[in-house]
Structure 1
Amino acid sequence: MEIRNNWTREEIEEIYNSPILDLIYKAATVHRENNDAQEVQVCTLLSVKTGGCPEDCAYCPQAARYHTDVKVHKLLPTEEVLAKAKEAKDSGSTRFCMGAAWREVRDNKDFDRVLDMVKGVNSMGMEVCCTLGMLTEEQALKLKDAGLYAYNHNLDTSEEHYEEIISTRTYDDRLDTLENVRNAKISVCSGGIIGLGESEGDRIGMLHTLATLPEHPESVPVNALVPVEGTPLEEQPRVSVWEMIRMIATARIIMPKAMVRLSAGRVRMNMEEQALCFMAGANSIFAGDKLLTTPNPDTVVDKEMFQTLNLKPRKAFKGEASVKFEQIPGV
């Protein structure tokens, strides 16, 4: 199947709304044509700076303006972050993502410390990812020089629904950051959240934006909202597994080689539901007890699931030159 960046909304809508079993079959076929269907990448996400964010993202418990149970903490010591990265690697993760509740990256001592963290995790032979808010191309180049492999910056929802969720930055701000990341030759990780009160048309619109970028994101996280008390979306109903499957399967069909990440909301899924997501084309999960500040399945439970479903963890830097490992002393 050819990689296309000229999908129309109508084409994506037709795929998204096809009968669910047909959709899963089609997505599973595309997945097997383009990826090893038994292979799932295990990633770990650590909040290196939590809470106190000046933005007003309606889903986020880290926004300073909402009264949630999130405890604010400043940037963690580098040694502590590297210890957590080693722990993640030892438990099977091959990508380590560091998140900071910032509106944007600023050129200060905290950013210098993040660059040191990136260098440290990279030296362990793991793919390093960061999600730090908006950043300039110069800052992206600094992260690249430090060894950053991927940068996460989600679109969250469609451009049309976006203003209902966030007013403190624009959709174009998000797209500009993705462009800065791409120009710095850093792998782009960008997806969104369903369950924000959006329509099916909004979900299709978000997928259309992602699939028509100059290059498809290397990684597309599909999150289901985990409503948090104290946020404007605390009363939102739970997203069904079938809605997640439609998003995952459609993403797989229109972006055949992207890593489609089964992200937030997985804690509410049993093994059978997750198996359907993997069949529909998901090939990455986040491991560890938390996704920034929301709960995540236990690592032991995930290992049992991998054994039952005969899944194998994807190696770091797959598809990249393996010399990355040879260049790292002691790995």
Structure 2
Amino acid sequence: MNTRIELRNNWSKEEVEEVYNLPLLELIYKAATVHREWHNPEEIQISTLLSIKTGGCPEDCSYCGQAARYHTDIKVQALLSTEKVIEHAQKAKESGSSRFCMAAAWREVRNNRDFDRVIDMVKGVNEIGMEVCCTLGMLTEEQAMRLQEAGLYAYNHNLDTSEQYYEEIISTRTFDNRINTINNVRKAGITVCSGGIIGLGETHTDRISMLLTLATMPEHPESVPINALARVEGTPLENNAKVDTWEMIRMIAVARIIMPSSMIRLSAGRIEMTDFEQGWCFMAGANSIFTGERETLLVTPNPGVCEDMQMFTTLGLKPMKKENKTTEMSSCEDK
């Protein structure tokens, strides 16, 4: 008899509040149960993120070291060559990643030679057999169609926080701008990657509201990243307190329960977590991570591939395969 929890898009604020406020161990138990009904708990999707264009962004996102108006240690880097990006993607595949995400510090996509080059990058990464994801800022429906035709699998566009708190964090665009881009991605037939950040100074009500927005979309995002604020020196939020890991676990567990079919990604903040803490996140329903060598062009560092493989061995986890194809892992002993 199949008792799997129903996939719903009609959650009420009161229902999500009730889930969010459960005693923590009870919440984790419920989330772990849902996770096992919908996913293989032994598998973790490994994604690699590459910053293909870094810094110089005109936005004023209070958490972001890539905003041109803040004085940070992040160096501006022009758009990488297509060949360099494909080289990074091939290395990521050999290290066990099944998804390759390309990030550009743009406010919005413009129809120019840089976008033409991104289209070539998408085609190239798709040809080596990886799921291709991009995060490039705001996107029109026509631009989304171009990306889809090039083979883009997913588009990341986080809500960041609740609609009510959004203007406290960003003033150069609106929450509705975020929603419009996600809608344009959906119309083009690209899967959606959208989540948020905790530790911005938001309330528990804001966290509940953000999750409610995601869970009441006509289709849940296929990937939901849960990020802890990376406190970047030189940004307005540099002195915010470190996010407590139990708060991350609570967010992951609630997201798992109300969006059971989605991949819940343990994202920014993982570098500050022990294997023990990450294990609790996986128990609560996280089944996706970003990984990569520390020296790769990541603006927010992640643990290295070898560290993650050792953690997987300890926890009895394994990288998720793409379309049931065997992923050949490079040896950490050679690095």
Aligned to 1:202: 206
Q: How many residues align?
A: 320
Select which of 246, 249, 261 maps to 1:245: 249
Distance of 1:223 and 1:315 partners within structure 2: 24
Aligned to 2:7: 3
Aligned to 2:86: 82
Preserved CA contact (<8 Å) 1:99 1:292: no
Cα drift, residue 317 of structure 1: 4.4
CA deviation digits over 1:292-321, x for unaligned, max 9?
311111111100011111111111246xx9
Aligned to 2:300: 294
Aligned to 1:27: 31
Q: How does 1:97-112 map to 2 (within 5 A)?
A: 97-112=101-116
* Residue ranges of structure 2 left out of the alignment (5+ in a row): 326-335
Q: How does 1:1-331 map to 2 (within 5 A)?
A: 1-289=5-293, 292-317=298-323
Distance of 1:72 and 1:13 partners within structure 2: 42
Aligned to 1:327: none
Preserved CA contact (<8 Å) 1:127 1:317: no
Please, what TM-score do these two structures have when normalized by structure 1?
Answer: 0.95
Distance of 1:295 and 1:148 partners within structure 2: 25
Preserved CA contact (<8 Å) 1:7 1:211: yes
Cα drift, residue 198 of structure 1: 0.2
For 1:264, the aligned partner's letter is A
The residue matched to 2:165 in structure 1 has which SS?
A: helix
Distance of 2:217 and 2:298 partners within structure 1: 27
For 1:208, the aligned partner's letter is L
> Identity of paired residues, percent?
70
* Residue ranges of structure 1 left out of the alignment (5+ in a row): 322-331
CA deviation digits over 1:42-85, x for unaligned, max 9?
00000000000000000000000000001001100110000000
CA deviation digits over 1:138-191, x for unaligned, max 9?
000000000000000000000000000000000000000000000101000000
Distance of 1:289 and 1:124 partners within structure 2: 20
Cα drift, residue 135 of structure 1: 0.3
Distance of 1:185 and 1:279 partners within structure 2: 31
Distance of 1:289 and 1:12 partners within structure 2: 37
Distance of 1:266 and 1:88 partners within structure 2: 19
For 2:315, the aligned partner's letter is L
Distance of 1:200 and 1:261 partners within structure 2: 20
CA deviation digits over 1:244-282, x for unaligned, max 9?
000000000000010000000000100110000000000
Runs of 4+ aligned structure 1 residues displaced above 3 Å come to 289-292
